[in-house]
A and B are shown apart, each in its own frame.
Chain A
């Protein structure tokens, strides 16, 4: 997470002092409008396309200055409007239109072959990383441990899981070793996972992970991270051995995170075959999640939002610290943890409030809990979009350090990829054209995430409540919430940052 700090941003860039003239700004407005008219499909293509096209091209620290000069006010308004117009469009289209967008194509037969082998290899890789974490370079931009955990896994593999498919079945470091242990000992899990715990342990574990990521003074310190990762791997394996697979899918926070994001992927399983469809197609086919899992979804978004919020001048103003002389993470540990919890509680409260209001407006008599569980999955694309947009800049910089580490994995001067003389660059953060491209890519991802969320919420509402009118009415507060969240997300990207 070296350069989660590498961000773009500022709040008040407007046409008046913008880099672009009104004409060019208008072009961007039209860009957004056109996208709306093609609605969902186009937006989804943006999401998928962005993931593929945002490769190393541009990136660094003065980018915020250039973002401040962009007419971000106009972009934010356009983004909010495109999400709002999607709502209107859905209200006018015949029922089933949203669901039709999520049609799938069935491909080859599904298989989970070799998953234990690859999982064992993942465990070996993790062991190597932990070893390097303790013995390799102390520099988090050189040591493969933090580079792999924060850049390859947290940014890269989580994104792949959400956009492409459920690779965690093969890449998790636990199921393979557990299978080997079971084979060797011939023993089965001695205890039953307590049903009453549900997915709540996963919520707690994920929040603890987020607390470490956001509030710990040195989450990238190679030895510190190696100790945490190694210990967690062991505890999770122990859980799996003692409680069996139920532990993995309910309590192990990382696997729960991965499985839930897999529901957003283009590729999924459909009646024994791999199928492809617009991101979100798997969500509408699944039954509503239990409450803890629904809360987990909200916590994903709440945490992602706070990850952006806690770097803004605004948040530093709340804390009363000078953003140009940030006193360091250790000075704000308690405040950061409190903010993380408050942001999640606030989001859950606002979401539940909108649903409660929607139920009243539509006259449906669903209990709030039922509505909460029904609609929570519609938040997933927003959470995923935030993840991708928020970390794009970090990926552009840290991805280069990853390449350097792959070039010399043992730190002994090897040049396996011929990159010994390769200098990491952040020049793409220093020119207006590339900064604009990066910013609009991030904004496009955020808007696309919200458009899909609107489509999902609509499809879920129709699934449960026949009749477009009622569904639309009941959905109105949630839709308003999503439009507001679009504006908030884009504001986060445009805000000046102190980190």
Chain B
């Protein structure tokens, strides 16, 4: 059943979005602040990976989320109400994730759920969010939202999905690095996504994958797999993750020496690892996808500068208080951007309380282009209301003396693919 509420049409929502933002901005700061302090806060249930396999990411997702919430509150909150982040640890555990979503809805009186990263936790939690009619804003970069396997209450407006990321790499790889590719990937869902999406994308560019080398997830030595790499390989595409990544790089260097093919990887492998670490010299001259350039570039935008300053991250993507504490820079902007979208959506829907949840979802579904700004420091975005997935620029960086130098930015169009679902046809 669709409830008709003021501002639930796309056009209406957009109008409100523009008007609300302008209206809020026209109030003097003290007035917005005063109202914010007297109203009930908007409770954002933050499903954070505090423990379990995702804890390293969880720490930075938390830091970014807290920084964004602080900023929003300093600027008067949402519709004059403060944001309160209610963080619950999901243990990076899908079953526990569903329980946490339940606590948000039934125990803590949260207006929305937010912030989940690991795909299996999203997939485990989203059905419960749908049943409880709790808007669930994930920051996972999985393709599960856009693939249609979830529900109308689950949205991913602040981070792009792996399918668009991977396919957007193919034009640059085939034009600049080579057309004959060998892929090395871990043999489970994460690696299979890369295998499937990239193979299709490179073939569309007239290239081909010579060999798919699937590595068992528990493997810790890789030398025996390298002879499978065909001699005519022009590009080696790798997406290894887990504790053995550094060993992988080391053994790759031992196997190939200086005469190697071009090497292209995803920064996920080395997220939170300092590129200047001894042992990683071999990666000099290789290429990485980056969701958001970790190292501040020469043409750094004021928005990126602002984002780093607020989160407390230096120009090398490390904590301002400890240069060896490298952030998960390629992903964590997603929390920042999602919270700002939540604010825009709530203001557009004139969100008052849980009854307005469908209106909030419709308001976000109505969003399209979002310009690069302090709210979107990673770059401009385009939201697809039907698939509940955002699309945005992707970056390719080349390692130069331990510095990740951006050499290519994809267009948003490079990242688009045909819709696989239309969630707006589902009732609330």
Question: In the complex, which of the residues A1, A66, A137, A325 has the most CB atoms of chain B within 10 Å of its own CB atom?
Answer: A325
Asked if B320 is at the interface (CB within 8 A of a chain A CB), the reply is yes
Q: In the complex, how many angstroms separate the beta carbon of B310 from the nearest chain A beta carbon?
A: 13
Q: Do the beta carbons of B93 and A327 come within 8 Å of each other?
A: yes
The chain A residue sitting closest to B320, CB to CB, is A423
Bound-state CA distance A19–B249 (Å) is 13
Asked if A432 is at the interface (CB within 8 A of a chain B CB), the reply is yes
Which of B145-153, B323-331, B388-396 has 4 or more CB atoms under 8 Å from chain A? B323-331
Q: Do the beta carbons of B312 and A423 come within 8 Å of each other?
A: yes
Bound-state CA distance A428–B186 (Å) is 27
Asked if B63 is at the interface (CB within 8 A of a chain A CB), the reply is yes
Q: Do the beta carbons of A61 and B272 come within 8 Å of each other?
A: yes
Q: Which of A326-350 contact B (CB under 8 A)?
A: 326-331
The verdict on A324 contacting B273 (CB below 8 Å), with A6-B55, A427-B323, A430-B325 known, is: no
What chain A residues lie within 8 Å of B108 (beta carbons)?
138
Asked if A169 is at the interface (CB within 8 A of a chain B CB), the reply is no
Q: Do the beta carbons of A19 and B220 come within 8 Å of each other?
A: no
Give the interface size bracket for A toward B: 35 or more
The chain B residue sitting closest to A9, CB to CB, is B243
Asked if B48 is at the interface (CB within 8 A of a chain A CB), the reply is yes
Which of B8-16, B83-91, B256-264 has 4 or more CB atoms under 8 Å from chain A? B83-91
A: residues with CB less than 8 A from B are: 1-3, 5-6, 9-12, 17, 19, 60-62, 64-69, 137-142, 217-218, 220-221, 313, 316-317, 322-331, 422-428, 430-432, 434, 496-499
Q: Do the beta carbons of B91 and A218 come within 8 Å of each other?
A: yes
The chain A residue sitting closest to B191, CB to CB, is A324
Binding site secondary structure of chain A: loop
Asked if B133 is at the interface (CB within 8 A of a chain A CB), the reply is no
Bound-state CA distance A498–B54 (Å) is 10
Q: In the complex, how many angstroms separate the beta carbon of B379 from the nearest chain A beta carbon?
A: 26
Question: In the complex, which of the residues A68, A331, A424 has the most CB atoms of chain B within 10 Å of its own CB atom?
Answer: A68
Q: A138-B103, A140-B89, A423-B321 are in contact. List 13 more A-B contacts (CB 8 A).
A: A17-B221, A61-B272, A68-B220, A68-B244, A142-B87, A217-B96, A322-B218, A324-B188, A325-B217, A423-B63, A425-B324, A425-B325, A498-B53
Q: List 8 A-B contacts (CB under 8 A).
A: A17-B221, A65-B246, A68-B243, A324-B241, A330-B96, A423-B325, A425-B325, A431-B324
Q: Do the beta carbons of B56 and A324 come within 8 Å of each other?
A: no
Bound-state CA distance A423–B310 (Å) is 13
Q: Do the beta carbons of B251 and A138 come within 8 Å of each other?
A: no
What chain B residues lie within 8 Å of A137 (beta carbons)?
87
Q: Which of B86, B93, B220, B318 contacts A328 (CB 8 A)?
A: B93
Bound-state CA distance A187–B421 (Å) is 73
The verdict on A427 contacting B319 (CB below 8 Å), with A19-B279, A327-B94 known, is: yes
B: residues with CB less than 8 A from A are: 48, 50-53, 55-56, 59, 62-63, 86-89, 91-97, 103, 108, 120-121, 186, 188-190, 217-218, 220-221, 241-247, 250-251, 254, 272-274, 277-279, 312, 318-326
The chain A residue sitting closest to B46, CB to CB, is A139
What are the 10 tightest A-B residue pairs by CB atom distance, in nearest-first order?
Answer: A328-B93, A61-B56, A427-B324, A64-B243, A427-B325, A139-B87, A330-B95, A65-B246, A425-B322, A425-B325
The verdict on A328 contacting B91 (CB below 8 Å), with A323-B217, A427-B319, A430-B272 known, is: yes
What chain B residues lie within 8 Å of A425 (beta carbons)?
319, 321-322, 324-325
Q: Do the beta carbons of A427 and B120 come within 8 Å of each other?
A: no
What chain A residues lie within 8 Å of B251 (beta carbons)?
17
Q: Do the beta carbons of B243 and A65 come within 8 Å of each other?
A: yes
Q: Do the beta carbons of A60 and B91 come within 8 Å of each other?
A: no
Q: Do the beta carbons of A5 and B52 come within 8 Å of each other?
A: yes
The chain B residue sitting closest to A328, CB to CB, is B93
Q: Do the beta carbons of B322 and A423 come within 8 Å of each other?
A: yes
Q: Do the beta carbons of B250 and A69 come within 8 Å of each other?
A: yes
Q: Do the beta carbons of A496 and B243 come within 8 Å of each other?
A: yes
What chain A residues lie within 8 Å of B278 (beta carbons)?
19, 432
Q: In the complex, how many angstroms separate the beta carbon of B280 from the nearest chain A beta carbon?
A: 10
Q: Do the beta carbons of A317 and B218 come within 8 Å of each other?
A: yes
Q: In the complex, how many angstroms separate the beta carbon of B237 from the nearest chain A beta carbon?
A: 18
